Amino acid sequence: MHDPHSERMSGSETRAAGGLALVFAFRMLGMFMVLPVLATYGMDLAGATPVLIGLAIGAYGLTQAVLQIPFGILSDRIGRLPVIYVGLLIFAAGAALAANADSIWGVIAGRVLQGAGAISAAVMALLSDLTREQHRTKAMAMIGMSIGLSFAVAMVVGPLLTRAYGLSGLFWVTAGMALLGIFIVLLMVPRASRVLRHRESGVARQALLPTLTHADLLRLDLGIFVLHAILMASFIALPLALVEQGGLPKEEHWWVYLTALLVGFFGMLPFIIYGEKKRRMKHVLLGAVAVLLACELYFWAFGATLHALVLGTVVFFTAFNLLEASLPSLISKVAPAGGKGTAMGVYSTSQFLGAALGGILGGWLYQHYSLSGVFLGCAALALLWLGFAVTMREPPYVTSLRLPLSVAALQEAGLAERLQAVPGVADAVVVVDEAAIYIKVDTQQLDRMSLERLIEPAPVTC
């Protein structure tokens, strides 16, 4: 038994967060490692065309987009672990199918099957089951960092593994990592004593319609859709440009991505700190989208030498990393109280759909209009996003809280309305079947004493 109010994560919480972060990292590593190599090595496969290479790059996004919300809902009914185990087995089977393929169609089928192992929502829900309220944001941040790190590692390790073992070997490594994920869940992740219905980490049907009709959330969904469409299309054009225009052998591309991602990671940090501290995240977002647009035009106009391509790639990944890190934070700020999990579910679906479209569109543009067509197409997408993002309001600078309620507090009429009158409380909603209230607060303005007087906390059991 541990102190329910402890400021430190317990051993079981640390194991849960660390283990599930590793599962996420291995899975995403397997998904991302093919991006920098498929456009160059994939052309050796039977039947390969640029359009089909693009489809292979983005194919996983189609099944991810369709299945991730249903898998999350299924995990509420049959349990988190069965969904996670089956999802990882499906992912491993997809990787094995792609590894055994001797044609581009086999790789496409493998990537589609990989995407069908859509366990993101189930993993996040299990994390909520295994962590206390005050540590949940910290645990979810660990998973977020693992995804970012896996992307960076994949850009470097993917080309190195493919150089050593070929595309087939790369997919076998991916299958092995998925199976390793199963053993991590079995041996490292504690068993949950309860299934928690939690609107901050799962999709709530009641919140789906408000999410789909919320103008600023839709602008952010469009943003992640376009960002990943540009990323996938760029991973058709950039590897080919490095070979065709930069004269860099495909076996040596890893150092370009390593340089770009390292500089990009440290380059984005001052902008995020500035945006959050000065409460100007809209301006930071608009600036990053404008830089993304400028990068695509730069590739089109000046990307004829290796130095120019490396410089453009470094700036591109600085803007990409900044947008990838700030968009989920903006979703959390903009989503209504109790709607964050649903908003993130729709956001993730938009991200995967963007990846699918970007791969297909990038391949089609390259096949018909060469590299210039891909770069101009990506520039057009960035311009579309910029046009919608300009009309977005500055987001509220609020933090989401979920507070358990006693039986007496649940029976009070108008509790949410009285809470919204407390200085610093932006939104509040009572969810009776969870015996909890979700509130969004501006910590700089919050009157904590007034808040605590209104809410009689439920007794905590452990």
For β-strands 425-431 and 436-441, DSSP reports them as antiparallel
406 and 324 in contact (C-beta within 8 Å)? no
Half-sphere exposure of 223 (CA within 13 A, CB side): 30
Q: Which residues contact 248 (CB under 8 A, 6 or more apart)?
A: 242, 256, 306
pLDDT at 143 over 90: no
| Residue extent(s) of CATH 1.20.1250.20 domains in the chain | 11-191+207-389
Which pLDDT band holds residue 355 (cuts at 50, 70, 90)? very high
Helix boundaries (H) for 245-280: 254-277
Per-residue pLDDT tens for 322-332?
999 888 888 88
Per-residue pLDDT tens for 204-229?
777 788 888 889 999 999 999 999 99
Distance CA 452, CA 462 (A): 22
- Determine the average pLDDT of the residues in 105-124: 92
Residue with tokens 């590299």: 371
Quote the distance between the C-alpha of residue 145 and its chain's center: 10
Residue with tokens 């607060």: 441
Distance CA 221, CA 233 (A): 18
Comparing CA positions, the residue from 352, 326, 317 lying closest to residue 121 is 352
Helix boundaries (H) for 100-214: 104-116, 120-130, 133-187, 205-212
CATH number, span 11-191+207-389: 1.20.1250.20
Which pLDDT band holds residue 198 (cuts at 50, 70, 90)? low
C-alpha distances (whole Å) from 298 to each of 38, 50, 311 are 24, 23, 10
Q: Which residues contact 427 (CB under 8 A, 6 or more apart)?
A: 336, 337, 398, 420, 439, 440
Distance CA 138, CA 20 (A): 13
Higher pLDDT, 391 or 431: 391
Residue 462, pLDDT score:
39
- Counting residues of the chain whose pLDDT is more than 70, the rounded percentage is 92
Return the minimum-mean-pLDDT range out of 78-82, 114-118, 243-247, 436-440.
436-440
Interior CA angle at 154 toward 152 and 159, to 5°? 120
Which pLDDT band holds residue 53 (cuts at 50, 70, 90)? very high
Distance CA 264, CA 258 (A): 10
Structure tokens, 47: 């039947």
pLDDT at 2 over 50: no
Residue 1, pLDDT score:
39
Mean pLDDT estimate for the chain? 87
C-alpha distances (whole Å) from 79 to each of 92, 133, 146, 445 are 21, 20, 24, 40
Residue 340, pLDDT score:
83
Residue 7, pLDDT score:
64
419 and 430 in contact (C-beta within 8 Å)? no
Helix boundaries (H) for 245-339: 254-277, 281-302, 306-334
pLDDT at 201 over 70: no
Eight-class DSSP state of 190? P
Total Cβ atoms within 10 A of residue 454: 17
268 and 318 in contact (C-beta within 8 Å)? yes
Q: Which residues contact 118 (CB under 8 A, 6 or more apart)?
A: 63, 64, 67, 68, 71, 87
Mutual orientation of helices 133-187 and 80-99 as an angle, nearest 10°?
50
Quote the distance between the C-alpha of residue 282 and its chain's center: 20
pLDDT at 458 over 60: no
Q: Which residues contact 412 (CB under 8 A, 6 or more apart)?
A: none
Distance CA 400, CA 386 (A): 28
pLDDT at 407 over 80: no
Residue 461, pLDDT score:
42
- Determine the average pLDDT of the residues in 83-106: 95
Give residue 410's identity as a one-letter amino acid code. L
Residue 447, pLDDT score:
67
| Residue extent(s) of CATH 3.30.70.100 domains in the chain | 399-454
| Strands of 425-431's sheet in order across | 399-404, 436-441, 425-431
Fold classified for 399-454: Alpha-Beta Plaits (3.30.70)
Return the minimum-mean-pLDDT range out of 72-81, 359-368, 424-433.
424-433
- Determine the average pLDDT of the residues in 188-215: 78
